[in-house]
Amino acid sequence: MKDSSGLNRHQLLSCLDFGKALTSELDPNRLLERVLEKVSKLFPSECWSLLLMDEATETLRFELSIDLDLEQMKDFRLALGQGAAGQCALKQELLVLEDVKRYEFFDDKVDELSGYRTQSLVCVPIVFAGRTLGVLEMVNPKALDKQSIELLTIVSDYLAIAMENTRRYRKLRDMTIRDSLTGLYNQRFFYRSLEVLVEKCNAAEGCFSLIFMDIDDFKKVVDTEGHLNGSRTLREIAQKIQGCLGEASFAVAYGGDEFVVVLPDTARLHAAETARRIRDAIKTATFLTRWGRKVEVTASFGVATFPDNARDIEELLALADQAMFRVKNTGKDRVGLSLN
């Protein structure tokens, strides 16, 4: 049995199953894993890839693939209009290249990096509300019949809806754990994370450190530059802090001009090194230059480590806070360690 589009019953059921699997998934990582699993079965090809659009740079990057070494491709980008995938993203049109040699826009850089030899290619745009989210790419597909192309088009629509759903879900989730001004984590996330870290450290005899920091004399910045520029300065400071941290560490907007940095698996002396790195990054920076201003600030820091300095969250926070205030009261612009 076929419907008016020419798809047979098996193809229609496969498409329905694919749509249900994708549109019910809100976790972005699990969504892409399902894409990898489902599409590779529906459309056998020598190599299958999903490229996602980076809206900030308007370039495509390889997000996942079957048989393509993503490590080789991690720095590779395609501009809009570049290569078949770039053309597909730019025009938002499905491209079927039965012989890639016949197309001047075909770019063989991926073949050079991967060792593949592309003979035929199918690129399907993933578009939602007029925005290109990415491109599905099939290298040397085993079938290029009309039904497969129609099914691909339907699948890309499902995928666009699923990707937009996960984007909105992630945005809503971030609103509950992120500070709206700086983009750093908020106190809700902070305290929840500390509970998890304490449990892990107690179970595995590990450690973690906290850095409490306060911007020195920040009221003078607000009085001189105004509240709007004060907020802008805090945003730029947050970016400086974030730029000094590794993947496992995170920063928290604790309140006003106070920040906390959480350093899992980090002993006190290494935490102090990180605090000095943040101190130097802030002290040597000039803020508000985008708005024609030149603002310079310093910060004071306090460091405490679990379980060396304290065995519970409340005491640990108090000790890091006390170390910071000792610095504030004895000259500022330095890093202090807990005396406990």
Q: What is the pLDDT of residues 17-28, one digit of tens each?
A: 655 656 555 565
For the ranges 33-42, 162-171, 307-316, the lowest mean pLDDT is seen at 33-42
Beta-strand runs (E) in 121-249: 121-128, 131-141, 208-215
Last residue in a domain, options 112, 140, 172:
172
Range 319-330 average pLDDT:
95
pLDDT at 335 over 70: yes
* Total domains, the chain: 2
For residue 184, give the nearest of 250, 274, 257, 263 by alpha carbon.
Answer: 250
Asked whether 254 and 190 are in contact (CB, 8 A), the reply is yes
Residue 182 lies in a domain: no
pLDDT in tens, 37-84: 667 677 778 888 888 888 878 899 988 777 777 788 888 899 999 999
Sign of the C-alpha dihedral computed for residues 170, 176, 179 and 185 taken in this order: negative
Model-level pTM greater than 0.85? no
Structural domain boundaries, residue 274: 187-337
pLDDT in tens, 110-146: 888 888 789 999 999 999 989 999 998 888 887 767 7
Residue 256 lies in a domain: yes
DSSP state letter for 290: G
**Which pLDDT band holds residue 12 (cuts at 50, 70, 90)?**
low
**b/e map 208-220, b = 16+ CB within 10 Å:** bbbbbbbbbebee
Residue 81 belongs to a domain with what CATH number? 3.30.450.40
pLDDT at 2 over 60: no
Q: Are residues 197 and 55 in the same domain?
A: no
265, containing H or E segment: none
Beta-strand runs (E) in the chain: 45-54, 59-66, 78-79, 95-97, 121-128, 131-141, 208-215, 250-255, 258-264, 299-306, 335-337
The 10 Å Cβ neighbour count of residue 330 is: 10
**Which pLDDT band holds residue 203 (cuts at 50, 70, 90)?**
very high
Residue 328 belongs to a domain with what CATH number? 3.30.70.270
Last residue in a domain, options 120, 140, 172:
172
292 strand-pairing partners = none
d(CA 306, CA 316): 7
